[in-house]
Amino acid sequence: DGGITQSPKYLFRKEGQNVTLSCEQNLNHDAMYWYRQDPGQGLRLIYYSQIVNDFQKGDIAEGYSVSREKKESFPLTVTSAQKNPTAFYLCASSHGGGVEQFFGPGTRLTVL
Amino acid sequence: GESVGLHLPTLSVQEGDNSIINCAYSNSASDYFIWYKQESGKGPQFIIDIRSNMDKRQGQRVTVLLNKTVKHLSLQIAATQPGDSAVYFCAEGAGNNRKLIWGLGTSLAVNP
């Protein structure tokens, strides 16, 4: 089945630790995105990548880092510099010229 | 400082009634608009999109209306079912810009 996978579904970390969230897609999409969603709120863009080895900051990039070494993978690292990392993280992808973004199931990160 | 949680607008309807979810968009240069449905704990799912050169588009049980004069978008769901209970987001985009601007969302509750 084609789609986007995010792992793990739930993640717990201690304050001050970096943590990396996985996002993989087998849709052959060029563009990939990371969003953050807080309770009762909309989606806020963290980073996006339109092609391999290139990515741009979104609206709330501070405290996060990404890499795009392969077309199918776009991992997000939540660093200790992120002041309030507990949130629901969503990864998405879209194909060239398309407007629709396809979403993964999300990872709920809780920092204790 | 920390973000404050917002209460999503909520629409409560009876099963079988029609639902209308509204969205005011921000960018007069946006030329495509998308509606997504997000069930609790899951990633958003594409419902329907519309280009700015259209004012109406219909899908299965859903209709999207676009009023560019007042920058307003609506999603109509016919014969609403319990499975339609979710948060609905509108998103707007412009040209080849892959970034979407997301609305805050509306929670739809369907009463049996």
Q: Residues A13-55: pLDDT tens digits?
A: 999 899 999 999 999 999 999 999 998 888 999 999 999 999 9
From B22, B20, B37, B10, select the one nearest B78 (Cα to Cα). B20
Model pLDDT for residues A73-108, shown as the tens digit of each residue: 999 999 998 989 999 999 999 987 777 899 999 999
Residues on chain A touching B105 (C-beta within 8 angstroms): 41-42
- Write the Ramachandran bin of B74: left for phi over 0, alpha for psi from -120 to 50, otherwise beta: beta
For the sheet with B62-67, list strands across it: B19-24, B72-77, B62-67, B56-58
Radius of gyration, CA atoms only, chain A = 13
Location of structure tokens 């999207």? B64
Q: What 3-state DSSP class applies to A56?
A: strand
Per-residue pLDDT at A4: 96
**Residue A2 reports pLDDT greater than 90:** no
Chain B interface includes A10 (CB < 8 A): no
The answer to whether A103 contacts B100, with C-beta atoms less than 8 Å apart, is no
Per-residue pLDDT at A41: 83
Per-residue pLDDT at B94: 85
Location of structure tokens 């970096």? A18
Give the HSE-up count for residue B71: Cα atoms under 13 Å, Cβ half-sphere.
10
Q: What 3-state DSSP class applies to B82?
A: helix
The answer to whether B8 contacts A102, with C-beta atoms less than 8 Å apart, is no
| Mutant choice from A21, A37, A43 vs B, greatest count of B C-beta within 10 A | A43
For every residue of A19-44, DSSP letters joined together read EEEEEEE-S--SEEEEEEE-TT--EE
**Residue A110 reports pLDDT greater than 70:** yes
Strand partners, B58: B63
Residues on chain A touching B7 (C-beta within 8 angstroms): 40
User: A64 φ, ψ to 5°?
Assistant: -125, 155
Q: What 3-state DSSP class applies to B79?
A: coil
| Mutant choice from B100, B104, B107 vs A, greatest count of A C-beta within 10 A | B100
Closest alpha carbon within chain B to A91: B43
DSSP code, position A59: T
- C-alpha dist (Å) from residue B3 to A62, A84, A86, B6: 15, 9, 12, 9
Chain A interface includes B111 (CB < 8 A): no
**What is chain B's pLDDT, residue by residue, as a tens digit (112 residues)?**
233 345 678 999 999 999 999 999 988 889 999 999 999 999 999 999 999 999 999 999 999 999 999 999 999 999 999 999 999 999 998 877 778 889 989 999 999 8
Closest residue to B34, CB basis, from A84, A99, A104: A99
The answer to whether A40 contacts B7, with C-beta atoms less than 8 Å apart, is yes
Task: Please give the helix or strand (H or E) that residue A68 lies within, else none.
Answer: none
B66, two tokens = 């676009």
Chain A interface includes B60 (CB < 8 A): no
CA angle A45, B57, B60 (to 5 degrees): 90
CB B60 within 8 A of CB B68: no
The answer to whether B105 contacts A42, with C-beta atoms less than 8 Å apart, is yes
Closest alpha carbon within chain A to B10: A40
Residues on chain B touching A39 (C-beta within 8 angstroms): 5
Chain B interface includes A100 (CB < 8 A): yes
